[in-house]
Structure 1
Amino acid sequence: SFLYTCQPYFNHLESTARSNLLDFSQQLCDKLEQLMLTYARHSLLCLDETKPDSLSHFCIGQTQLGRLRLTVFRYCKPTPYLAQVNTGLYKRMRWNVERLRDGLQQAGGEQGGGSEDTEYYFLCYEDIPIASAEAFDESQGVSHGNVVRMWSIGQWVQINPNTEDIYDWIMCEVPQAYYHQLLFLGSDEPSSSGATELLQQLLCVGFSHSDVTSVENWTSFFQAG
């Protein structure tokens, strides 16, 4: 009975501590990003993905969700979705999602074999033209001239090469893929931790490749559940 009475306090402490850790993680990510941009401005490193010596992104953490292992990357600046093709999409984050074998999961992800498959998900934005800057409701986000910036989470779907043959990959100068949008986020850029949490929710419940939903509908779904 006493433990049951204390549970709300433990829940409050847990949520407060986790929130503080997420805030610290976000601050560290922001500071590291600014440091990388400063180095780039002084020509100490290159952020252009088309260059072989570029350093366009950095790892900001790894977590495991059942049989899924997520490795999270942050791009130092908005980077074209495809290196040599103008798709109008710019990526800000990437998640490598590995589906682990049973042996690897039981061993804590360190032994027992490799991953069965790796999927790639991205946080991207696209500048959508609007009729006029005055027609855009500034309370909903930030306009950039005659366009509004819209954010989404989507999956990398490989087009070329479309085989696992190592020779096809060697002959392919730049892999090509299309962006399969899964979750529409609106015009406000999410934090790194917030975007990762949304992707984790997507992966937890699974999703249909034919379904694209908005973050409002997705939030309502979890609140109703």
Structure 2
Amino acid sequence: LAAKVPSFLFTCQPFFNHLQATAWNSVSQNTGLPLDISTRLLDLSQQLFDKLEQLVLTYAQHGLLSLDETEPNSVSHFCIGQSQISHLRVTAFRYCRLTPYLAKVNTGLYKRMRWNVERLQEQQDQQTDEDYFLCCEDIPNTPADDDSSIVCSINMAKMWSIGQWVQVKPDPNSEDIYDWITCETPQASYHRLLLLGSEEPTCCSATDLLQKLLLSDQTPQ
């Protein structure tokens, strides 16, 4: 039965694509769909994402499937829809739990969402792909106190942010296919673009923030 979960998630993808495309295109292109309908579609999307995530987590809690993305048959994340705004095609993925940013390196960063962004140009050979993430990290949270005689324990607070995957290894400019074949785990840095605070945003609100960043040309080209 657990083997059917990935197939079920894949089957849901066309529906999510349609739902997200309808909602976001209505918001960005003023297609005539009332704003409250678009908002309700996005709310419905969020509820469906949450239900699917709970389904996967339930199977994982009973040891029926793995959430470890280093394992070939894991279900660490699933696609939650695709939309196109202007020259940008955005495909969103949701991780079922906080997952290390890099598979085999402890960076202190944990990813919750990933967006694959295709910048569509008039000429197909000019198309570029970029990856962005919604990440969380623990940062020291010490109370401000000018009295140095008071010893305060350091508490950790979560900080959410949106950032871009910046490929380090293999060299993204390398044309040697051997470099890519022999690289077991790609390495990258995390270029923070927007700090969001201590509260985790919903998938839809995070996607909205990313789209606004991309359309305002605040991200590196």
- Name the TM-score class by shorter chain: 0.7 to 0.9
Structure 1 counterpart of 2:55: 35
Shift in alpha-carbon separation, 1:102–1:154, aligned structure 2, 3 A? same
Structure 1 counterpart of 2:3: none
Residue among 144, 152, 162 paired with 1:153: 162
Q: Deviations over 1:54-93 (max 9, x none)?
A: 1210000000012211000000000000000000000000
Shift in alpha-carbon separation, 1:37–1:63, aligned structure 2, 3 A? same
Q: Deviations over 1:122-151 (max 9, x none)?
A: 00010112226xx6xxxxxxxxx9211000
Q: Measure, in 1, the Cα distance between the counterparts of 2:86 and 2:105.
A: 36
Q: Give the paired residue count.
A: 180
Q: Measure, in 2, the Cα distance between the counterparts of 1:61 and 1:170.
A: 30
The amino acid of 1:26's aligned partner reads Q
Shift in alpha-carbon separation, 1:11–1:121, aligned structure 2, 3 A? closer
CA RMSD of aligned residues (A): 2.2
What percentage of residue pairs aligned between the two structures are identical? 62
Where do 5+ consecutive residues of structure 1 fail to align?
Answer: 1-9, 104-112, 136-144, 210-225
Structure 1 counterpart of 2:46: 26
Q: Work out whether residues 213 and 219 of structure 2, in 8 Å CA contact, stay in contact via their aligned partners in 1.
A: no
Q: Measure, in 2, the Cα distance between the counterparts of 1:115 and 1:64.
A: 17
Q: Measure, in 2, the Cα distance between the counterparts of 1:73 and 1:60.
A: 5
Q: Work out whether residues 67 and 102 of structure 1, in 8 Å CA contact, stay in contact via their aligned partners in 2.
A: no
- Normalized against structure 2, the TM-score is what? 0.76
Q: Which stretches of structure 1, 4 residues or longer, exceed 4 Å deviation after superposition?
A: 10-13
Shift in alpha-carbon separation, 1:12–1:160, aligned structure 2, 3 A? closer
Where do 5+ consecutive residues of structure 2 fail to align?
Answer: 1-29, 145-153
Residue among 107, 119, 122 paired with 1:102: 122
Q: Work out whether residues 76 and 96 of structure 2, in 8 Å CA contact, stay in contact via their aligned partners in 1.
A: yes
Structure 2 counterpart of 1:63: 83
- Normalized against structure 1, the TM-score is what? 0.75
Measured after TM superposition, the shift of residue 172 of structure 1 is 0.5
